[in-house]
């Protein structure tokens, strides 16, 4: 056992704790006790629930009901739709503590991260309420006299949401708050690893809908639905003709399967896929600030964020000083029960994640890398769980496992000397999600943001690549999928655009000077 890890008895009463949280969140006990699919917590590996899987016929019926609901919901004025989202935000505020703790138990996040995920849900609700009065089109200059040209935006249809285990409720909220306020219905397939948080979230939606109706709002049945199951249910959602848009979060491999299926039937896709994210530490970097930024970005959520820092390029002039400090941080960080307030790194989600991490570290050693950390950490009462010491791996070059994303706390550290050359290496990766540079050199910072700089959808200066706010559009380029969710104008993906021209004159001039006179 690591010297910095406290012995902790964790198999005390997690089951009872989960029961109490789900009751507080309004979930019917039968929904998490009477099913055949077992739900585990990564904290101990024990079973904490039994959820009933959705059958193919039930899923198809839910999608049809969502389509019927959409036909009603699209006619409700957008500010009225925003009122439902406001009520959902209130429900989330009231149950933030309970839902946040449930996230921590089901995913293994430390408490502040579980609560932070629910705060993201609240934030996007606030954003969507304001957006309900700002679904703006444009008035466009026209060459024809006594004409007006404009664009308008209309609801799109049933929105399918496929979410991953690492952000089991926040990503749903990014999509659902915008989809609902834009006039769409939603059908959600959460990760099979995190169904309990989905049950709890749907219960809060139902409570908000009930209040909305009591206040005179029109909210049809079927407006929101959850489907529980594996790949077969996801494929049904992707292939169903009634689903106009699918927002899918997961691996690049998943995106390669989903994207062509949606394209085949000309449905829309928002793909949020892998991210082999990097940061550059320049000679002028504030090393105290940089240490904190990199520590969270690389070790937070046990390295299981799509924006987790996985590649670090440190200038040769500060390499020894900074990497020595970083090694000490890695060796001293507290690994353990995420429900304990002094824990910073909780468990990996399951045995497969642990095996993936160890395979990557073996490949790094074979490629000449020096591995610091990465060993399994024994936690009393959690023999079936997978706790690990975060790994810092010094590599001579970006090669072998460095070129591939491993969804675990593995940080590859490399030395660089030339800024222009390191930019090229930084971008020489298949994914393009998030990136950072730590520098006090204005020219370097601006170059990093420029067309020849980071090719990622997110680029930061003097903060890490992990931990985006909802105000900006979230997503990445290349094999990250190109999708955008959350803030800015990401709402446009959930609507259809129409270009409209009105002739208010008594003649009919044609565009481009075309003449077509008939008697």
With beta carbons less than 8 A apart as the criterion, state whether 408 and 357 touch. yes
What is the per-residue DSSP string for 86-99?
HHHHHHHHHTHHHH
CA–CA distance, 490 with 511 (Å, rounded to integer): 32
Residue whose pair of structure tokens reads 């559009």 in the numeric block: 473
Residues in contact with 464: Cβ distance below 8 Å, sequence separation at least 6, in sequence order? 279, 293, 294, 296, 297, 298, 309, 436
The one-character DSSP state at 313 is E
Active site residue 272: yes
- Strands 243-249 and 268-272, sheet pairing: parallel
Query: Reduced to 3 states, what is the DSSP secondary structure of residue 29?
Result: helix
How distant, in Å, are the alpha carbons of 89, 127, 184, 501 from that of 133?
Answer: 17, 11, 16, 23
**91, 113, 272, 485: which is the annotated catalytic residue?**
272
Determine the Cα angle at 51 with ends 49 and 52, to 5°: 155
With beta carbons less than 8 A apart as the criterion, state whether 410 and 361 touch. yes
Backbone angles phi, psi at 122, to 5 degrees: -65, -45
Is 85 exposed, middle or buried, given 0-12, 13-18 or 19+ CB atoms closer than 10 A? buried
CA–CA distance, 467 with 481 (Å, rounded to integer): 19
Which H or E run contains 279? strand 277-281
Query: Reduced to 3 states, what is the DSSP secondary structure of residue 1?
Result: coil
What is the per-residue DSSP string for 49-107?
EEEPPPPHHHHHHHHHHHHHHHHHHTTS-HHHHHHHHHHHHHHHHHTHHHHHHHHHHHH
Is 513 exposed, middle or buried, given 0-12, 13-18 or 19+ CB atoms closer than 10 A? exposed
Which residues are known to be catalytic? 272
């Amino acid at each position: 056992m690591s010297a910095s890890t406290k012995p902790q008895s964790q198999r005390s009463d997690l089951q009872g704790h989960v029961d109490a949280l789900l009751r507080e969140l309004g979930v019917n006990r039968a929904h998490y006790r009477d099913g055949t699919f077992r739900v585990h917590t990564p904290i101990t590996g024990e079973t904490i629930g039994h959820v009933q899987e959705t059958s193919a016929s039930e899923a198809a019926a839910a999608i049809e009901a969502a389509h019927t609901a959409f036909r009603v919901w699209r006619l409700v004025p957008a500010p009225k739709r925003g009122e439902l989202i406001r009520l959902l935000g209130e429900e989330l505020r009231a149950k933030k503590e309970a839902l946040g703790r449930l996230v921590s138990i089901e995913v293994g996040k430390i408490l502040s991260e579980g609560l932070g995920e629910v705060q993201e849900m609240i934030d996007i609700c606030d954003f969507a309420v304001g957006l309900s009065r700002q679904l703006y089109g444009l008035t466009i200059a026209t060459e024809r006299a006594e004409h007006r040209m404009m664009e308008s935006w209309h609801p799109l249809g049933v929105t399918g949401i496929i979410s991953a285990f690492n952000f089991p409720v926040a990503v749903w909220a990014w999509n659902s708050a915008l989809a609902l306020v834009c006039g769409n219905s939603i059908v959600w397939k959460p990760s099979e690893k995190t169904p309990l948080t989905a049950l709890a979230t749907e219960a809060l939606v139902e409570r908000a809908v009930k209040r909305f109706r009591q206040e005179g709002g029109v909210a049809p049945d079927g407006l929101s639905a959850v489907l529980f199951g594996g790949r077969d249910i996801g494929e049904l959602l992707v292939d169903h003709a009634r689903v106009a848009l699918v927002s899918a979060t997961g691996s690049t491999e998943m995106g390669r399967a989903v994207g062509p299926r949606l394209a085949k039937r000309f449905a829309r896709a928002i793909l949020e896929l892998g991210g082999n994210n990097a940061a550059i530490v320049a000679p002028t970097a504030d090393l105290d600030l940089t240490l904190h930024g990199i520590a969270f970005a690389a070790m937070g959520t046990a390295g299981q964020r799509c924006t987790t820092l996985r590649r670090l390029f440190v200038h040769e002039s500060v390499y020894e000083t900074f990497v020595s400090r970083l090694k000490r941080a890695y060796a001293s960080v507290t690994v353990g029960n995420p429900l304990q307030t002094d824990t910073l790194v909780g468990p990996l989600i399951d045995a497969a994640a642990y095996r993936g991490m160890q395979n990557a570290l073996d490949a790094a050693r074979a490629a000449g890398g020096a591995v610091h950390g990465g060993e399994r950490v024994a936690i009393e009462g959690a023999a079936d769980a997978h706790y690990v010491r975060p790994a810092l791996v010094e590599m001579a070059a970006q090669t072998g496992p460095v070129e591939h994303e491993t969804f675990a706390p593995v940080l590859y550290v490399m030395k660089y000397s030339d800024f222009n050359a390191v930019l090229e290496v930084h971008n020489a990766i298949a994914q393009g999600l998030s990136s950072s540079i730590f520098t006090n050199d204005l020219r370097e910072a601006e170059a990093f943001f420029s067309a020849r700089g980071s090719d990622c959808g997110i680029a930061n200066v003097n903060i890490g690549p992990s931990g985006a706010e909802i105000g900006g559009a979230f997503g990445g380029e290349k094999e990250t999928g190109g999708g955008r969710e959350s803030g800015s104008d990401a709402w446009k993906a959930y609507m259809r655009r129409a270009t409209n021209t009105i002739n208010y004159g008594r003649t009919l001039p044609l565009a481009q000077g075309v003449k077509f006179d008939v008697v």
